[in-house]
Amino acid sequence: MARSEQDLLSTEIVNRGIESSGPNAGSLTFSVRVRRRLPDFLQSVNLKYVKLGYHYLINHAIYLATIPVLLLVFGAEVGSLSREELWKKLWDDARYDLATVLGFFGVFVLTLSVYFMSRPRSVYLIDFACYRPPGELKVTKEQFIEKARKSGKFDEASVEFQRRIIQSSGIGDETYIPKAVMTDENCVTMKQGRLEASMVMFGALDELFEKTRVRPKDVGILVVNCSIFNPTPSLSAMLINHYKMRGNILSYNLGGMGCSAGIIAVDLARDMLQANPNNYAVVVSTEMVAYNWYPGKDRSMLIPNCYFRMGCSAVLLSNRRRDYHRAKYRLEHIVRTHKGADDRSFRCIYQEEDEQGFRGLKVSKDLVEIGGEALKTNITTLGPLVLPFSEQLFFFATLIWRHLFGGGGLQTSAKKPYIPDYKLAFEHFCVHAASKTVLDELQKNLELSDNNMEASRMTLHRFGNTSSSSIWYELAYLEAKERVKRGDRVWQISFGSGFKCNSVVWQSMRSVRKPTSRNPWLDCIDRYPLPSN
């Protein structure tokens, strides 16, 4: 087997128990399963997801299809007449022709009215904010390991395991963790959870309201997502109480939905804005590090300790037409993929207690493979919505050729379909900064350049995995570098427990200048990108 193929495979030895009968009775039996680390996107493309993408694309096109038909019919009738005959029809037989003309324009106006009435309202992103914790919570990798050892929560084997993971994680020496996690006290308490929640959420929202000059009472829709920490009253209620928001606000609190919940929250806010015109919506995405801290010995549960760091984002959305001129981005597409029907995907990231009774997130060894399958489904559905026509044409031609002749003599030349170049559809990529391994695999399979992955890698290095808010730290990085120009399209993609993979596409309404304040990258942007990365 070639080395390149071996790199994509993982071997798992599974204990199948003790043989109950036969010549091997009383002996342990094992099975060996060899799996790909990430599915090869070039080997299989499911047509149903391609069709699903086109279903999204033509959802409202039926109305527009009527217009060219009417124009064709009317033009054919008029075009067959000379100027004298047309004049005679219009004026000498006015009753007949006037009724025809009025009938045509009536259908034309009705078609346009139905189309524009059924067309979704534009949703604008006015601005967003990413919270940067205070400097005293900053921790280097070595400090992390030393504090973990001194906290007394881990044995030496667990400390050494975390050291190996964090050294190859892609995380730098300036990430933030709560003080409580590195002390001997129990940090998995409601008190510590609320303290961290108030710090990061209030910090992000204070910045957002200051940047947009929108009053909290002007917000009509509030969506908060936090996967692990879900107190009563909810986090959304905490914000309403703190900012004294209005009594008829539509508030929602999403829990247990993993790192991809930020895009789900934006999707929910969009739907609510479609049903409630002339409104503002705020989306808050975060995760509580202290409440998710695992002090046990199970190595699959120790992995989240090494990656997750403090962070929070707050996004202001609007459907008001007068916000068109001050908006930064317009929402173009959201595509959501859920693989929860599959048992392996469902249990890929699973919260449970270990043998000692400590609660934590158990991360499966199949995570990269399962995540890749969800990603493949998601981008296959997204393709028809965003790719240039030429790319779609090449894709379909080679796909049809493969399905027609793949089993015959042309199998060798046609076994791989043409994979569209997503770099032609987007100027900027914000891939969820989960880990260095995940980013490496995605870059290789999507054939993205180092420049395309820069925002994700630098975010992972500077802030760590901030869960659902990481894609906003990446967009803040692009803005701080002054790379977002008018008309650019930004692809944010995230994945998380369930297993889910979600995409959102934004179009820039104006060129974004380098911020002079209130950007988490301002104090360090000149040091990035790092040469070694």
CA torsion, ordered 435, 463, 194, 256, to nearest 10 deg:
-30
Instruction: Check 130, 187, 226, 259 and give the catalytic one.
Output: 259
- Reading the block at residue 300, the tokens are 């699959």
Instruction: Check 465, 501, 502, 519 and give the catalytic one.
Output: 465
DSSP SS3 for 445: helix
List alpha helices for 218-297, DSSP H. 235-243, 261-275
Q: Which residues is 11 bridged to in the sheet?
A: 34
Is-catalytic flag, 348? Answer: no
Is-catalytic flag, 259? Answer: yes
Q: How far apart are CA 52 and CA 240, in angstroms?
A: 38
- For residue 260, CA distances in Å to 267, 337, 495, 509 come to 11, 10, 5, 25
Beta strands at 428-431 and 489-496: parallel, antiparallel or unpaired: parallel
List, in sequence order, every beta strand (DSSP E) within 386-499.
428-431, 489-496
Name residue, tokens 């219009």: 90
Is-catalytic flag, 461? Answer: yes
Phi, psi angle pair for 294, to nearest 5°: -110, 120
Closest CA to 459 of 480, 488, 485: 480
- Reading the block at residue 115, the tokens are 């189309």
Cβ 471 vs Cβ 432: under 8 Å: yes
Instruction: Check 292, 445, 461, 519 and give the catalytic one.
Output: 461
- Reading the block at residue 499, the tokens are 């297993």
Instruction: Check 226, 305, 306, 428 and give the catalytic one.
Output: 428
Is-catalytic flag, 432? Answer: yes
Contacts of 127 (CB under 8 A, 6+ apart): 208, 211, 212, 316, 328
Phi, psi angle pair for 135, to nearest 5°: -60, -30
Q: How far apart are CA 277 and CA 508, in angstroms?
A: 22
Count Cβ neighbours within 10 Å for each residue of 382-406 and write b for 16 or more, e otherwise: bbbbbbeeebbebbeebbeebeeeb
Closest CA to 5 of 33, 34, 32: 34
DSSP SS3 for 476: helix
Q: How far apart are CA 427 and CA 336, in angstroms?
A: 21
Q: What angle do CA 259, 361, 355 make, to 5 degrees?
A: 175
Is-catalytic flag, 55? Answer: no
How many Cβ atoms from other residues are within 10 Å of residue 55's Cβ? 11
Is-catalytic flag, 242? Answer: no
Q: How far apart are CA 489 and CA 495, in angstroms?
A: 20
Instruction: Check 312, 348, 430, 432 and give the catalytic one.
Output: 432
Closest CA to 250 of 263, 236, 261: 236
Name residue, tokens 């308490």: 189
- Reading the block at residue 218, the tokens are 């002007």
Q: Catalogue the active-site residues.
A: 259, 338, 428, 432, 461, 465
